[in-house]
Structure 1
Amino acid sequence: MTTRTAVNPLTTLERRALQSITTPEGSMLIVAADQRNGMKAAIPDAPGGSEAITRDELSAVKADLVRHLARHAPAILLDPEVALPSIVDEGVLDRDTALVVGLDASGFETVDGLRYTRFVPGVTPRTVRELGGGVAKMLYYTRPDRQDENSRVFDEIRALVAECEAEGLLLIVELLTYQLDGESDEEYAAAFPSLVADGAALAVAAGAKILKLQYPGSGEASAAVTAAAKGVPWAVLSAGVDHETFIVQVSEAVSHGAAGAMAGRSLWKDSLSYDPARREELLTTRALPRLRELADAVDGRR
């Protein structure tokens, strides 16, 4: 990762944590496996349908994803509801794979037309340490055209950044923008690139030191995000697009200042099975080559 003078400098502990989630060339690369209902939906052959998958069965799927895919990446993002602490306690997680712990619960609440995420009950920055993680991740929904430095989301980001820094944790701030009720598809599409860039600026003003963002739509828009981030590294999230599309997005974003990628469904959404043997085959022959191609993209080799 190219060294930048960021507006929100990293502490020594945070700098070491950032190294743990990067490739040898210095680009962020994290396999995202913190999904719960979304991962269930990606298991097409589950007896009784995806809704019938138990917590233990989903935990086993996540463990195999770690064994056969994530061990080949710098880091894995896991949830504290299903995956942890068992994947650590049972020795599934490779010693050389960094652990990022997701703090956000599934779903969101809506207040005055705006979306807000919640913490997994009982999970705090201290919990991340207790689960073996050195990096935390929290998701926030943003509409910077309706939220500023006096908003609830700004205060929430600022408070968590401070809590994580006090705990010696690097915090990845994930932002998702979204379409408002009554907003047309055309209006939202036109506003989307600015919403991503302005959301990044709002989070950076709140103290964010690492960002996980939607692809803003083009190289020019990616350059605008990089400028808005003021030296704070940002990684592209896959948002469920297919692998081929995501590779193009990552390559374009990296060439315009992005510092890496965090990929989930684009890697494994068609590589899961209820049958462990079939799961291993799909993860090894389908998902793993995608991960290697993604590593080339984040390191600028594509």
Structure 2
Amino acid sequence: MTLNSEERSMTHYILKDITRPSGGFAMLAVDQREAMRLMFAAAGASLPVSDRVLTEFKVNAASVLSPYASAILIDQQFCFPHIVERQAVAPGCGLIVAADEFIPGNGIPVDSVAIDNNVDPVAMKRDGAKALKLLVLWRSDEDPQQRLDMVKAFNTRCHRHGLLSIIEPVVRPPRRGDRFDREQAILDAATELGNSGADLYKVEMPLYGKGTQSDLLAAAQKLNDRIAMPWVILSSGIDEKLFPRAVRVAMQAGASGFLAGRAVWSSVIGLPDTDLMLRDVSVPRLQRLGEIVDEMMAKR
């Protein structure tokens, strides 16, 4: 059923609005910004890589892949207006908008993050969004209260307008010193933010999805013990060949699916005939991941 803008404004979305019928999440991310520009540059695209290149890829990916995703995460900066205008998202696919402002610094595209006040929840919802997403950079030597306050403000902004709140804590080395235990940091971030009032927790897969299945399962179970809300894994940093197993193991530990981009489409970046490559390479990957989600949900 398609809602008009007035009906949308009064709707309070629930997690079921962005899941598969099985209750699991098989969600696609195309909200990468300067990181995606770097990916195109690394793939040999003409330099400088223009905004138009990013926009076209994102719109194509939404059009080709959204029929196979329970939801799609997009950004306002490069693609939201274009995707809405072209009606690129399939009817059964929920729309999630990134509400994070990426602040570059120290030679990296995302050195800090703030809530993007240019992302208007009312306008996003009117144009079809059901959820907003916030990246939270977690460093052991930065103030936890600032992170918690930002998440609280974000949750309030979402829930006041009937939108779902998705948080994405991503761990980084401390500002000072060179000691960094990624695995412990992921657990510490989950302890801090896993009961912060959001609707969904998007998390980095322990061990980059490598190692034995039993090691992965034990690490994922530690995460599950710390997260008091439904959670899904992302695919950044994981070999795309290992990601299906990562989804399976994470779900065995208690996760409810995935919200991922790179494992689905990164290998077609920079190739000719983008539409064709997405159909031939990325669609089967996303379909298989969706099947795994359904298989694991059926075992519950």
Aligned residues between the structures: 273
If the length of structure 2 is used for normalisation, what is the TM-score?
Answer: 0.82
Letter of the 1:228 partner, please give it: R
Q: Which residue of 2 aligns with 1:229?
A: 227
What do you get for the CA RMSD once the two structures are aligned? 2.4
2:37 corresponds to 1:40: yes
Deviation string 1:266-301 (CA, Å, 9 cap, x unpaired) is 1111113474xx111211111111111211232345
Pick from 203, 221, 239 the counterpart of residue 242 of structure 1. 239
Uncovered stretches (5+) of structure 2, i.e. residues with no partner: 1-10, 208-215
Distance (whole Å) between structure 1 residues aligned to residue 241 and residue 287 of structure 2? 13
Match of 1:289 in 2: 284
**1:97 paired residue among 86, 93, 101:** 93
1:129 aligns with 2:125: yes
Aligned to 2:198: 208
Q: Does 1:188 align with 2:180?
A: yes
Deviation at residue 244 of structure 1 after TM alignment? 1.1
Q: Distance in 1 between matches of 2:291 and 2:16?
A: 18
**1:157 corresponds to:** 151
The 1-side partners of 2:98 and 2:186 are apart by 21
Q: How does 1:260-299 map to 2 (within 5 A)?
A: 260-273=257-270, 275=272, 278-299=273-294
Q: 1:64-101: per-residue Cα shift (whole Å, max 9, x none)?
A: 11121222211111000111112112222222211100
> 1:28 offset after TM fit, Å?
1.0
Which residue type is aligned with residue 280 of structure 2? T
* In 1: Cα distance, 2:293 partner to 2:141 partner: 30
8 Å CA contact 1:104–1:120 kept in 2: the answer is yes
**Judging changes above 3 Å, is the alpha-carbon distance between structure 1 residues 146 and 104 closer, same or farther for their aligned structure 2 residues?**
closer
Residues 142 and 177 of structure 1 are in contact (CA less than 8 Å); yes or no, is this contact kept in structure 2?
yes
Cα distance between partner residues in 2 of 1:108 and 1:160? 21
**How far 1:119 moved relative to its partner?**
3.3
Aligned to 1:177: 171
Is contact 2:140–2:174 with CA below 8 Å preserved after alignment?
A: no
Task: Give the match's secondary structure for 2:28.
Answer: strand
Tell me: CA distance 1:71–1:236, structure 2 relative to 1, closer, same or farther (3 Å).
same
Aligned partners of 1:108 and 1:118 also within 8 Å? no
In 2, Cα distance between the equivalents of 1:125 and 1:194? Answer: 34
Deviations 1:4-43 (A, max 9, x none): xxxxxxxx9342xx11221221111111001122223333
Q: SS state of the match for residue 23, structure 2?
A: coil
Aligned partners of 2:234 and 2:259 also within 8 Å: yes
How far, CA to CA, are the matches of 1:135 and 1:85 in structure 2? 16
| Consecutive unaligned residues in structure 1, runs of 5 or more | 1-11
1:114-125 matched pairs, under 5 angstroms = 116-120=112-116, 122-125=118-121
Please report how far the alpha carbon of residue 183 of structure 1 lies from its aligned counterpart in structure 2 after TM superposition. 4.6
- How far apart are residue 146 of structure 1 and its match? 5.4
| 1:240 Cα deviation after fit | 3.7
Alignment of 1:9-158 (within 5 A): 13-15=12-14, 18-43=15-40, 44=43, 46=45, 48-49=46-47, 51-53=48-50, 55-108=51-104, 116-120=112-116, 122-143=118-139, 147-148=143-144, 151-158=145-152
CA contact (8 A) 1:109 1:117 kept: no
Cα-to-partner distance string for 1:233-273 (whole Å, 9 max, x where unaligned)? 01001014221121222111110001110111111111134
| 1:157 Cα deviation from its structure 2 partner | 0.5
Q: Is the 8 A contact 2:195 2:227 kept in 1?
A: no
Q: Hey, what's the Cα distance between the residues in 1 that align with 2:203 and 2:171?
A: 9
**DSSP-derived class of the 1:41 partner:** helix
Deviates further, 18-27 or 164-173: 18-27
- Give the Cα separation in 1 of the matches to 2:94 and 2:115: 22
Q: The residue matched to 1:261 in structure 2 has which SS?
A: strand
With the length of structure 1 as denominator, give the TM-score of the two structures. Answer: 0.82
Give the share of equivalent positions with the same residue, in percent.
Answer: 26
Please give the alpha-carbon distance, in whole angstroms, between the structure 2 residues aligned to 1:45 and 1:238: 23
